[in-house]
Structure 1
Amino acid sequence: MTRYGQQRQFLKSNFHEFKHIKTDKIKGITQPPIVKPFDPNSVLIDLPKVSKDVVSNDNIFDCIDQRRSTRFYSADTLSLEELSYLLWATQGITGMNKNGLTMRTVPCSGATHTFETYLMIMRVEGIQQGIYRYLPVEHKLLFMFELDELEQKIDAVTLDQPFVPNFAKKAAVLFAWSTTPYRSEWKYDISAHKKILIDVGHVCQNLYLSSESIGAGACAIGIYDQKLIDEILALDGDEEFVIYMGAVGKKRE
Protein backbone atom coordinates (compact mmCIF):
# COMPACT_ATOMS: atom_id res chain seq x y z
CA MET A 1 0.00 0.00 0.00
CA THR A 2 3.03 2.29 -0.36
CA ARG A 3 1.48 4.20 -3.27
CA TYR A 4 -1.43 5.26 -1.02
CA GLY A 5 0.68 6.08 2.02
CA GLN A 6 0.86 9.86 1.68
CA GLN A 7 -2.83 10.24 0.97
CA ARG A 8 -3.80 7.93 3.83
CA GLN A 9 -1.61 9.91 6.19
CA PHE A 10 -3.41 13.07 5.12
CA LEU A 11 -6.68 11.55 6.31
CA LYS A 12 -5.37 11.14 9.85
CA SER A 13 -5.39 13.67 12.67
CA ASN A 14 -2.10 15.56 13.03
CA PHE A 15 -2.99 17.19 16.34
CA HIS A 16 0.25 16.26 18.09
CA GLU A 17 2.23 18.03 15.38
CA PHE A 18 -0.19 20.93 15.09
CA LYS A 19 -0.16 21.79 18.81
CA HIS A 20 3.52 22.75 18.60
CA ILE A 21 2.98 25.15 15.69
CA LYS A 22 2.65 28.88 16.21
CA THR A 23 -0.16 29.74 13.83
CA ASP A 24 -0.61 33.10 12.12
CA LYS A 25 -3.50 33.75 14.49
CA ILE A 26 -1.23 33.19 17.50
CA LYS A 27 1.41 35.42 15.91
CA GLY A 28 -1.12 38.24 15.85
CA ILE A 29 -1.36 38.43 12.08
CA THR A 30 -4.60 40.04 10.96
CA GLN A 31 -7.40 37.61 10.19
CA PRO A 32 -8.23 37.42 6.46
CA PRO A 33 -11.64 38.69 5.33
CA ILE A 34 -14.44 36.28 6.25
CA VAL A 35 -16.04 36.75 2.82
CA LYS A 36 -14.71 37.74 -0.57
CA PRO A 37 -15.14 41.46 -1.27
CA PHE A 38 -17.02 42.71 -4.30
CA ASP A 39 -17.26 45.86 -6.37
CA PRO A 40 -20.11 47.98 -4.93
CA ASN A 41 -21.03 48.94 -8.48
CA SER A 42 -21.76 45.30 -9.35
CA VAL A 43 -25.22 44.25 -10.48
CA LEU A 44 -26.89 42.76 -7.40
CA ILE A 45 -30.11 40.77 -7.37
CA ASP A 46 -32.23 40.68 -4.24
CA LEU A 47 -33.13 37.18 -3.15
CA PRO A 48 -36.53 36.55 -1.60
CA LYS A 49 -36.59 36.16 2.15
CA VAL A 50 -36.21 32.50 3.02
CA SER A 51 -39.53 30.98 4.01
CA LYS A 52 -40.78 27.55 5.02
CA ASP A 53 -43.52 28.01 2.44
CA VAL A 54 -41.15 26.89 -0.33
CA VAL A 55 -40.74 23.47 1.29
CA SER A 56 -43.03 20.73 -0.01
CA ASN A 57 -41.64 17.96 2.19
CA ASP A 58 -40.78 19.02 5.74
CA ASN A 59 -40.32 15.49 7.07
CA ILE A 60 -36.59 15.22 7.72
CA PHE A 61 -36.78 11.43 8.00
CA ASP A 62 -38.30 11.20 4.52
CA CYS A 63 -35.76 13.61 3.06
CA ILE A 64 -32.87 11.57 4.43
CA ASP A 65 -34.47 8.29 3.39
CA GLN A 66 -35.34 9.43 -0.14
CA ARG A 67 -32.10 11.32 -0.87
CA ARG A 68 -30.37 10.02 -3.97
CA SER A 69 -27.87 11.44 -6.43
CA THR A 70 -30.19 12.72 -9.15
CA ARG A 71 -28.82 12.88 -12.69
CA PHE A 72 -32.07 13.09 -14.66
CA TYR A 73 -33.86 16.44 -14.60
CA SER A 74 -37.05 17.81 -16.06
CA ALA A 75 -37.11 20.98 -18.14
CA ASP A 76 -38.89 22.80 -15.30
CA THR A 77 -37.33 25.94 -13.89
CA LEU A 78 -36.45 26.54 -10.27
CA SER A 79 -38.20 29.54 -8.76
CA LEU A 80 -36.13 32.35 -7.32
CA GLU A 81 -37.65 31.49 -3.93
CA GLU A 82 -36.34 27.95 -4.26
CA LEU A 83 -32.86 29.12 -5.25
CA SER A 84 -32.86 31.52 -2.32
CA TYR A 85 -33.69 28.63 0.00
CA LEU A 86 -30.97 26.38 -1.44
CA LEU A 87 -28.35 29.10 -1.03
CA TRP A 88 -29.46 29.78 2.54
CA ALA A 89 -29.42 26.05 3.34
CA THR A 90 -25.85 25.64 2.10
CA GLN A 91 -24.15 28.89 3.18
CA GLY A 92 -26.78 31.08 4.82
CA ILE A 93 -25.74 33.21 7.80
CA THR A 94 -27.83 32.67 10.92
CA GLY A 95 -25.81 34.78 13.36
CA MET A 96 -22.56 36.64 13.96
CA ASN A 97 -20.47 36.85 17.11
CA LYS A 98 -18.69 39.90 18.55
CA ASN A 99 -15.51 38.99 16.68
CA GLY A 100 -17.28 39.02 13.33
CA LEU A 101 -17.33 35.25 12.89
CA THR A 102 -20.45 34.04 11.09
CA MET A 103 -22.71 31.26 12.28
CA ARG A 104 -24.17 29.46 9.30
CA THR A 105 -26.59 26.70 8.39
CA VAL A 106 -23.65 24.30 8.04
CA PRO A 107 -21.01 23.40 10.65
CA CYS A 108 -17.47 24.57 10.02
CA SER A 109 -14.16 24.15 11.84
CA GLY A 110 -13.66 27.24 13.98
CA ALA A 111 -16.25 29.17 11.93
CA THR A 112 -13.56 29.78 9.31
CA HIS A 113 -15.97 29.24 6.38
CA THR A 114 -13.46 29.20 3.54
CA PHE A 115 -16.06 28.74 0.79
CA GLU A 116 -17.58 30.99 -1.84
CA THR A 117 -20.60 29.85 -3.85
CA TYR A 118 -20.58 30.39 -7.61
CA LEU A 119 -23.57 29.52 -9.76
CA MET A 120 -23.87 28.59 -13.40
CA ILE A 121 -27.55 29.33 -13.87
CA MET A 122 -29.44 27.75 -16.75
CA ARG A 123 -33.10 27.75 -15.69
CA VAL A 124 -34.18 29.90 -12.76
CA GLU A 125 -37.40 31.87 -13.10
CA GLY A 126 -36.72 35.55 -13.76
CA ILE A 127 -32.92 35.15 -13.90
CA GLN A 128 -30.97 35.32 -17.15
CA GLN A 129 -28.51 32.55 -17.91
CA GLY A 130 -25.02 33.29 -16.74
CA ILE A 131 -22.46 33.17 -13.96
CA TYR A 132 -23.28 34.48 -10.50
CA ARG A 133 -21.84 34.57 -6.99
CA TYR A 134 -23.80 34.30 -3.77
CA LEU A 135 -23.24 37.05 -1.19
CA PRO A 136 -24.16 35.43 2.14
CA VAL A 137 -23.92 38.56 4.30
CA GLU A 138 -26.31 40.49 2.06
CA HIS A 139 -28.25 37.39 0.93
CA LYS A 140 -28.06 38.59 -2.66
CA LEU A 141 -26.85 37.32 -6.01
CA LEU A 142 -24.00 39.11 -7.71
CA PHE A 143 -24.22 38.91 -11.48
CA MET A 144 -20.74 38.26 -12.86
CA PHE A 145 -21.17 37.79 -16.60
CA GLU A 146 -22.98 35.98 -19.38
CA LEU A 147 -21.17 32.98 -20.83
CA ASP A 148 -21.57 32.04 -24.47
CA GLU A 149 -22.40 28.39 -25.09
CA LEU A 150 -23.02 27.85 -21.39
CA GLU A 151 -24.16 24.24 -21.74
CA GLN A 152 -21.12 23.32 -23.82
CA LYS A 153 -18.86 24.97 -21.25
CA ILE A 154 -20.51 22.94 -18.49
CA ASP A 155 -19.91 19.79 -20.54
CA ALA A 156 -16.25 20.69 -20.86
CA VAL A 157 -15.90 21.47 -17.15
CA THR A 158 -17.62 18.34 -15.88
CA LEU A 159 -15.72 16.01 -18.20
CA ASP A 160 -16.92 12.42 -18.78
CA GLN A 161 -19.19 11.53 -15.88
CA PRO A 162 -19.04 7.76 -15.28
CA PHE A 163 -22.75 7.00 -14.82
CA VAL A 164 -24.75 9.46 -16.93
CA PRO A 165 -22.56 11.41 -19.37
CA ASN A 166 -23.37 15.09 -19.96
CA PHE A 167 -26.03 15.20 -17.23
CA ALA A 168 -24.78 18.41 -15.55
CA LYS A 169 -25.75 20.71 -18.43
CA LYS A 170 -29.38 19.57 -18.09
CA ALA A 171 -29.64 20.80 -14.49
CA ALA A 172 -31.30 24.10 -13.63
CA VAL A 173 -28.28 25.31 -11.66
CA LEU A 174 -24.71 24.16 -11.26
CA PHE A 175 -23.16 25.07 -7.90
CA ALA A 176 -19.39 25.52 -7.78
CA TRP A 177 -17.86 25.97 -4.34
CA SER A 178 -14.45 27.55 -4.18
CA THR A 179 -12.18 27.59 -1.16
CA THR A 180 -9.87 30.33 0.05
CA PRO A 181 -7.58 28.10 2.14
CA TYR A 182 -5.86 30.86 4.09
CA ARG A 183 -9.05 31.61 6.00
CA SER A 184 -8.49 28.25 7.68
CA GLU A 185 -4.68 28.15 7.44
CA TRP A 186 -4.54 31.38 9.48
CA LYS A 187 -6.09 29.50 12.39
CA TYR A 188 -5.19 25.85 11.78
CA ASP A 189 -1.98 25.92 9.75
CA ILE A 190 -1.15 22.37 8.54
CA SER A 191 -4.43 21.02 9.93
CA ALA A 192 -6.52 23.35 7.76
CA HIS A 193 -6.73 21.26 4.62
CA LYS A 194 -8.35 18.17 6.05
CA LYS A 195 -10.85 20.43 7.84
CA ILE A 196 -11.69 22.20 4.56
CA LEU A 197 -12.54 18.90 2.88
CA ILE A 198 -14.69 17.80 5.81
CA ASP A 199 -16.50 21.13 5.86
CA VAL A 200 -17.35 21.15 2.15
CA GLY A 201 -18.99 17.76 2.67
CA HIS A 202 -21.35 19.39 5.17
CA VAL A 203 -22.23 22.01 2.57
CA CYS A 204 -23.05 19.52 -0.17
CA GLN A 205 -25.10 17.28 2.11
CA ASN A 206 -27.27 20.28 2.95
CA LEU A 207 -27.72 20.84 -0.78
CA TYR A 208 -28.94 17.27 -1.14
CA LEU A 209 -31.42 17.49 1.73
CA SER A 210 -32.74 20.95 0.92
CA SER A 211 -33.18 19.94 -2.74
CA GLU A 212 -35.11 16.86 -1.67
CA SER A 213 -37.38 19.01 0.48
CA ILE A 214 -38.53 21.07 -2.53
CA GLY A 215 -39.03 18.19 -4.95
CA ALA A 216 -35.71 18.76 -6.68
CA GLY A 217 -32.70 16.50 -6.98
CA ALA A 218 -29.00 17.14 -6.51
CA CYS A 219 -25.85 15.35 -7.59
CA ALA A 220 -22.39 16.07 -6.23
CA ILE A 221 -19.63 16.39 -8.81
CA GLY A 222 -16.07 15.61 -7.83
CA ILE A 223 -14.81 14.95 -11.36
CA TYR A 224 -14.20 18.24 -13.14
CA ASP A 225 -11.58 20.15 -15.11
CA GLN A 226 -9.85 22.12 -12.37
CA LYS A 227 -7.99 24.53 -14.63
CA LEU A 228 -10.99 25.28 -16.84
CA ILE A 229 -13.50 25.99 -14.08
CA ASP A 230 -11.00 28.19 -12.24
CA GLU A 231 -10.33 30.10 -15.46
CA ILE A 232 -14.04 30.56 -16.18
CA LEU A 233 -14.64 31.95 -12.71
CA ALA A 234 -11.47 34.11 -12.86
CA LEU A 235 -9.90 32.37 -9.85
CA ASP A 236 -6.12 32.29 -9.48
CA GLY A 237 -6.04 28.55 -8.76
CA ASP A 238 -3.84 28.98 -5.69
CA GLU A 239 -5.27 31.46 -3.19
CA GLU A 240 -8.78 30.55 -4.39
CA PHE A 241 -9.91 27.56 -6.44
CA VAL A 242 -12.96 25.36 -6.94
CA ILE A 243 -13.05 22.40 -4.59
CA TYR A 244 -16.47 20.78 -5.26
CA MET A 245 -19.49 21.12 -7.51
CA GLY A 246 -23.13 20.09 -7.45
CA ALA A 247 -25.95 20.03 -10.00
CA VAL A 248 -29.57 20.75 -9.04
CA GLY A 249 -32.78 20.48 -11.03
CA LYS A 250 -36.38 19.46 -10.74
CA LYS A 251 -36.72 15.69 -10.86
CA ARG A 252 -37.85 14.07 -14.08
CA GLU A 253 -40.99 11.97 -13.66
Structure 2
Amino acid sequence: MGRYNQQRNFLKSNFAEFKTIATDAKKGFPQPPKVKPCDSNSKLIDLPMVNENTLTNKNIYTCIKERRSTRFYSNRPISLEELSYLLWATQGITGMNKAGLTFRTVPCSGATHSFESYLLIRNVENIPQGVYRYLPMEHRLLFMFELDELEHKIDEITLDQPFVPNFANKAAVLFLWSTTPYRSEWKYDITAHKKILIDIGHVCQNLYLASESIDAGTCAIGIYDQALVDQMLGLDGEEEFVIYLAAVGKKP
Protein backbone atom coordinates (compact mmCIF):
# COMPACT_ATOMS: atom_id res chain seq x y z
CA MET A 1 0.00 0.00 0.00
CA GLY A 2 2.92 2.36 0.55
CA ARG A 3 3.37 3.10 -3.12
CA TYR A 4 -0.17 4.52 -3.27
CA ASN A 5 0.25 6.92 -0.39
CA GLN A 6 1.78 9.83 -2.28
CA GLN A 7 -0.95 9.82 -4.92
CA ARG A 8 -3.68 9.37 -2.32
CA ASN A 9 -2.38 12.37 -0.41
CA PHE A 10 -2.66 14.37 -3.63
CA LEU A 11 -6.40 13.64 -3.57
CA LYS A 12 -6.81 15.15 -0.10
CA SER A 13 -7.33 18.77 0.82
CA ASN A 14 -4.15 20.54 1.93
CA PHE A 15 -5.80 23.81 2.85
CA ALA A 16 -4.03 23.96 6.21
CA GLU A 17 -0.67 24.06 4.43
CA PHE A 18 -1.98 26.50 1.84
CA LYS A 19 -2.87 29.02 4.57
CA THR A 20 0.83 29.30 5.50
CA ILE A 21 1.99 30.03 1.93
CA ALA A 22 2.57 33.46 0.47
CA THR A 23 1.30 32.93 -3.07
CA ASP A 24 2.54 34.95 -6.03
CA ALA A 25 -0.80 36.74 -6.01
CA LYS A 26 -0.28 37.79 -2.37
CA LYS A 27 3.27 38.88 -3.18
CA GLY A 28 1.88 41.24 -5.80
CA PHE A 29 3.31 39.45 -8.82
CA PRO A 30 1.37 40.24 -12.01
CA GLN A 31 -1.40 37.85 -12.90
CA PRO A 32 -0.61 35.72 -15.96
CA PRO A 33 -2.69 36.32 -19.11
CA LYS A 34 -6.20 34.91 -18.73
CA VAL A 35 -6.23 33.56 -22.27
CA LYS A 36 -3.57 32.59 -24.77
CA PRO A 37 -2.96 35.39 -27.30
CA CYS A 38 -3.00 34.92 -31.04
CA ASP A 39 -1.19 36.61 -33.87
CA SER A 40 -3.03 39.52 -35.52
CA ASN A 41 -2.56 37.86 -38.89
CA SER A 42 -4.21 34.62 -37.76
CA LYS A 43 -7.03 33.13 -39.79
CA LEU A 44 -10.15 33.47 -37.64
CA ILE A 45 -13.55 31.91 -38.21
CA ASP A 46 -16.64 33.53 -36.74
CA LEU A 47 -18.84 31.07 -34.90
CA PRO A 48 -22.65 31.33 -35.07
CA MET A 49 -24.41 32.79 -32.06
CA VAL A 50 -25.52 30.08 -29.68
CA ASN A 51 -29.22 29.57 -29.14
CA GLU A 52 -31.47 26.77 -27.96
CA ASN A 53 -32.80 26.09 -31.47
CA THR A 54 -29.64 24.07 -32.11
CA LEU A 55 -30.74 21.48 -29.57
CA THR A 56 -32.69 18.38 -30.55
CA ASN A 57 -33.25 17.40 -26.92
CA LYS A 58 -33.91 20.19 -24.41
CA ASN A 59 -34.80 17.87 -21.54
CA ILE A 60 -31.88 17.91 -19.10
CA TYR A 61 -33.24 14.88 -17.26
CA THR A 62 -33.14 12.83 -20.46
CA CYS A 63 -29.65 14.07 -21.34
CA ILE A 64 -28.32 13.00 -17.94
CA LYS A 65 -30.16 9.68 -18.02
CA GLU A 66 -29.01 8.76 -21.56
CA ARG A 67 -25.41 9.92 -21.23
CA ARG A 68 -22.98 7.21 -22.24
CA SER A 69 -19.39 7.12 -23.45
CA THR A 70 -19.94 6.77 -27.19
CA ARG A 71 -17.23 5.09 -29.25
CA PHE A 72 -19.14 4.48 -32.49
CA TYR A 73 -20.06 7.37 -34.77
CA SER A 74 -22.00 7.83 -37.98
CA ASN A 75 -20.62 9.62 -41.03
CA ARG A 76 -22.99 12.53 -40.49
CA PRO A 77 -21.09 15.78 -40.00
CA ILE A 78 -21.50 18.12 -37.07
CA SER A 79 -22.83 21.49 -38.18
CA LEU A 80 -20.97 24.70 -37.45
CA GLU A 81 -23.89 25.77 -35.26
CA GLU A 82 -23.52 22.57 -33.23
CA LEU A 83 -19.77 22.99 -32.88
CA SER A 84 -20.31 26.57 -31.75
CA TYR A 85 -22.72 25.30 -29.10
CA LEU A 86 -20.32 22.59 -27.86
CA LEU A 87 -17.49 25.11 -27.51
CA TRP A 88 -19.76 27.56 -25.70
CA ALA A 89 -21.00 24.77 -23.40
CA THR A 90 -17.45 23.82 -22.41
CA GLN A 91 -15.61 27.16 -22.18
CA GLY A 92 -18.07 29.85 -23.27
CA ILE A 93 -18.04 33.21 -21.48
CA THR A 94 -21.37 34.29 -20.03
CA GLY A 95 -20.27 37.42 -18.15
CA MET A 96 -17.43 39.36 -16.57
CA ASN A 97 -17.06 41.25 -13.29
CA LYS A 98 -15.41 44.61 -12.66
CA ALA A 99 -12.09 42.93 -11.86
CA GLY A 100 -12.03 41.27 -15.28
CA LEU A 101 -12.82 37.77 -14.03
CA THR A 102 -14.84 35.84 -16.58
CA PHE A 103 -17.94 33.86 -15.76
CA ARG A 104 -18.18 30.77 -17.94
CA THR A 105 -20.53 27.89 -18.54
CA VAL A 106 -18.34 25.70 -16.31
CA PRO A 107 -17.26 26.30 -12.70
CA CYS A 108 -13.58 26.91 -12.01
CA SER A 109 -11.58 27.47 -8.83
CA GLY A 110 -11.15 31.20 -8.39
CA ALA A 111 -12.12 31.83 -12.02
CA THR A 112 -8.52 30.99 -12.97
CA HIS A 113 -9.57 29.04 -16.12
CA SER A 114 -6.24 27.48 -16.95
CA PHE A 115 -7.48 25.64 -20.05
CA GLU A 116 -7.22 26.13 -23.80
CA SER A 117 -9.44 24.18 -26.19
CA TYR A 118 -7.74 22.73 -29.26
CA LEU A 119 -9.67 20.84 -31.91
CA LEU A 120 -8.74 18.25 -34.48
CA ILE A 121 -11.58 18.76 -36.90
CA ARG A 122 -12.37 15.87 -39.22
CA ASN A 123 -16.05 16.19 -40.16
CA VAL A 124 -17.64 19.58 -39.53
CA GLU A 125 -19.77 21.22 -42.21
CA ASN A 126 -17.97 23.94 -44.17
CA ILE A 127 -14.80 23.69 -42.06
CA PRO A 128 -11.65 22.20 -43.65
CA GLN A 129 -9.96 19.39 -41.79
CA GLY A 130 -7.13 20.54 -39.58
CA VAL A 131 -6.06 21.82 -36.18
CA TYR A 132 -7.89 24.73 -34.55
CA ARG A 133 -8.02 26.61 -31.24
CA TYR A 134 -11.10 28.12 -29.64
CA LEU A 135 -10.97 31.80 -28.66
CA PRO A 136 -13.58 32.16 -25.91
CA MET A 137 -13.34 35.95 -25.54
CA GLU A 138 -14.28 36.45 -29.20
CA HIS A 139 -16.22 33.18 -29.64
CA ARG A 140 -14.18 32.39 -32.72
CA LEU A 141 -12.11 29.56 -34.11
CA LEU A 142 -8.46 30.13 -34.87
CA PHE A 143 -7.15 28.00 -37.73
CA MET A 144 -3.70 26.73 -36.80
CA PHE A 145 -2.60 24.37 -39.57
CA GLU A 146 -3.58 21.47 -41.78
CA LEU A 147 -2.54 18.02 -40.64
CA ASP A 148 -1.57 15.40 -43.19
CA GLU A 149 -2.93 11.92 -42.55
CA LEU A 150 -5.25 13.28 -39.88
CA GLU A 151 -6.82 9.94 -38.96
CA HIS A 152 -3.40 8.29 -38.66
CA LYS A 153 -2.16 11.10 -36.41
CA ILE A 154 -5.23 10.69 -34.19
CA ASP A 155 -4.42 6.98 -33.89
CA GLU A 156 -0.86 7.82 -32.89
CA ILE A 157 -1.75 10.24 -30.13
CA THR A 158 -4.62 8.19 -28.66
CA LEU A 159 -2.51 5.03 -28.33
CA ASP A 160 -4.17 1.66 -27.64
CA GLN A 161 -7.75 2.17 -26.48
CA PRO A 162 -8.83 -0.87 -24.45
CA PHE A 163 -12.47 -1.25 -25.55
CA VAL A 164 -12.73 -0.10 -29.20
CA PRO A 165 -9.32 0.30 -30.87
CA ASN A 166 -8.85 3.41 -33.04
CA PHE A 167 -12.37 4.70 -32.39
CA ALA A 168 -11.23 8.32 -32.06
CA ASN A 169 -10.24 8.61 -35.72
CA LYS A 170 -13.91 8.18 -36.71
CA ALA A 171 -15.07 11.11 -34.58
CA ALA A 172 -16.15 14.34 -36.21
CA VAL A 173 -14.06 16.37 -33.75
CA LEU A 174 -11.39 15.51 -31.23
CA PHE A 175 -11.28 17.99 -28.35
CA LEU A 176 -7.84 18.43 -26.78
CA TRP A 177 -7.70 20.55 -23.64
CA SER A 178 -4.40 21.94 -22.47
CA THR A 179 -3.63 23.54 -19.14
CA THR A 180 -1.35 26.45 -18.35
CA PRO A 181 -0.81 25.60 -14.67
CA TYR A 182 0.61 28.96 -13.59
CA ARG A 183 -2.77 30.62 -14.15
CA SER A 184 -3.92 28.63 -11.12
CA GLU A 185 -0.55 28.37 -9.32
CA TRP A 186 -0.34 32.18 -9.20
CA LYS A 187 -3.37 32.16 -6.92
CA TYR A 188 -3.28 28.72 -5.29
CA ASP A 189 0.40 27.69 -5.29
CA ILE A 190 0.85 23.98 -4.47
CA THR A 191 -2.89 23.45 -4.06
CA ALA A 192 -3.55 24.41 -7.70
CA HIS A 193 -2.99 21.04 -9.28
CA LYS A 194 -5.82 19.16 -7.62
CA LYS A 195 -8.12 22.06 -8.52
CA ILE A 196 -7.03 21.91 -12.17
CA LEU A 197 -7.98 18.24 -12.39
CA ILE A 198 -11.34 18.85 -10.74
CA ASP A 199 -12.05 21.76 -13.07
CA ILE A 200 -11.28 19.86 -16.27
CA GLY A 201 -13.78 17.25 -15.12
CA HIS A 202 -16.47 19.95 -15.10
CA VAL A 203 -15.51 20.89 -18.66
CA CYS A 204 -15.72 17.36 -20.03
CA GLN A 205 -19.02 16.59 -18.29
CA ASN A 206 -20.54 19.64 -19.93
CA LEU A 207 -19.34 18.28 -23.27
CA TYR A 208 -21.04 14.95 -22.55
CA LEU A 209 -24.38 16.56 -21.72
CA ALA A 210 -24.23 19.12 -24.52
CA SER A 211 -23.47 16.35 -27.01
CA GLU A 212 -26.49 14.37 -25.81
CA SER A 213 -28.67 17.39 -26.47
CA ILE A 214 -27.72 17.46 -30.19
CA ASP A 215 -27.90 13.72 -30.90
CA ALA A 216 -24.14 13.34 -30.67
CA GLY A 217 -21.96 11.18 -28.47
CA THR A 218 -18.76 11.81 -26.54
CA CYS A 219 -16.04 9.63 -25.14
CA ALA A 220 -13.41 11.05 -22.79
CA ILE A 221 -9.86 9.85 -23.44
CA GLY A 222 -7.27 9.66 -20.69
CA ILE A 223 -4.87 7.33 -22.52
CA TYR A 224 -2.73 9.37 -24.91
CA ASP A 225 0.87 10.00 -25.91
CA GLN A 226 1.77 13.09 -23.89
CA ALA A 227 4.99 14.02 -25.69
CA LEU A 228 3.55 13.44 -29.17
CA VAL A 229 0.35 15.43 -28.70
CA ASP A 230 2.19 18.35 -27.05
CA GLN A 231 4.69 18.41 -29.89
CA MET A 232 1.93 18.28 -32.49
CA LEU A 233 0.23 21.34 -30.98
CA GLY A 234 3.50 23.21 -30.50
CA LEU A 235 3.30 23.16 -26.69
CA ASP A 236 6.42 23.15 -24.53
CA GLY A 237 5.13 20.36 -22.28
CA GLU A 238 5.95 22.29 -19.09
CA GLU A 239 4.29 25.70 -19.03
CA GLU A 240 1.46 24.38 -21.21
CA PHE A 241 0.55 20.77 -21.94
CA VAL A 242 -2.44 18.63 -22.88
CA ILE A 243 -4.37 17.31 -19.89
CA TYR A 244 -7.48 15.62 -21.37
CA LEU A 245 -9.03 14.55 -24.69
CA ALA A 246 -12.55 13.75 -25.84
CA ALA A 247 -13.92 12.45 -29.13
CA VAL A 248 -17.29 13.72 -30.41
CA GLY A 249 -19.41 12.52 -33.28
CA LYS A 250 -22.99 11.98 -34.37
CA LYS A 251 -24.51 8.78 -33.03
CA PRO A 252 -25.12 5.92 -35.48
Q: Name the TM-score class by shorter chain.
A: over 0.9
1:4 maps to 4
Deviation at 1:131, TM superposition (A): 0.1
2:52 maps to 52
2:120 maps to 120
1:86 maps to 86
Q: TM-score, normalised by structure 1?
A: 0.99
2:135 maps to 135
- CA distance in structure 1 between the partners assigned to 2:62 and 2:146 by the alignment: 38
- CA distance in structure 1 between the partners assigned to 2:76 and 2:55 by the alignment: 17
2:183 match: secondary structure:
helix
- CA distance in structure 1 between the partners assigned to 2:4 and 2:152 by the alignment: 35
Q: TM-score, normalised by structure 2?
A: 1.00
Deviation at 1:99, TM superposition (A): 1.2
1:119 match: secondary structure:
strand
1:191 maps to 191
The reply on whether 1:178 has 2:178 as its aligned counterpart is yes
Number of residue pairs matched by the alignment: 252
1:168 maps to 168
Deviation at 1:151, TM superposition (A): 0.3
The reply on whether 1:40 has 2:64 as its aligned counterpart is no
- CA distance in structure 2 between the partners assigned to 1:85 and 1:174 by the alignment: 15
Gaps of 5+ in 1: none
1:248 maps to 248
The reply on whether 1:22 has 2:17 as its aligned counterpart is no
Q: Deviations over 1:65-84 (max 9, x none)?
A: 00000000000100000000
2:90 match: secondary structure:
helix
- CA distance in structure 2 between the partners assigned to 1:97 and 1:146 by the alignment: 37
2:184 match: secondary structure:
helix
2:210 maps to 210
- CA distance in structure 2 between the partners assigned to 1:40 and 1:96 by the alignment: 24
1:62 maps to 62
- CA distance in structure 2 between the partners assigned to 1:131 and 1:105 by the alignment: 24
- CA distance in structure 1 between the partners assigned to 2:103 and 2:232 by the alignment: 30
- CA distance in structure 1 between the partners assigned to 2:52 and 2:61 by the alignment: 17
Report the identity percentage.
Answer: 76
What one-letter code is carried by the residue in structure 2 that aligns with 1:95? G
Q: Deviations over 1:200-242 (max 9, x none)?
A: 0000000000000000000000000000000000000000000
What root-mean-square deviation, in Å, do the aligned CA atoms of Structure 1 and Structure 2 show? 0.3
Gaps of 5+ in 2: none
Q: Deviations over 1:184-209 (max 9, x none)?
A: 00000000000000000000000000
Q: Please list every run of at least 4 consecutive aligned residues from structure 1 whose deviation after the TM superposition is greater than 2 angstroms.
A: none
Deviation at 1:19, TM superposition (A): 0.3
Matches within 5 A, 1:228-247: 228-247=228-247
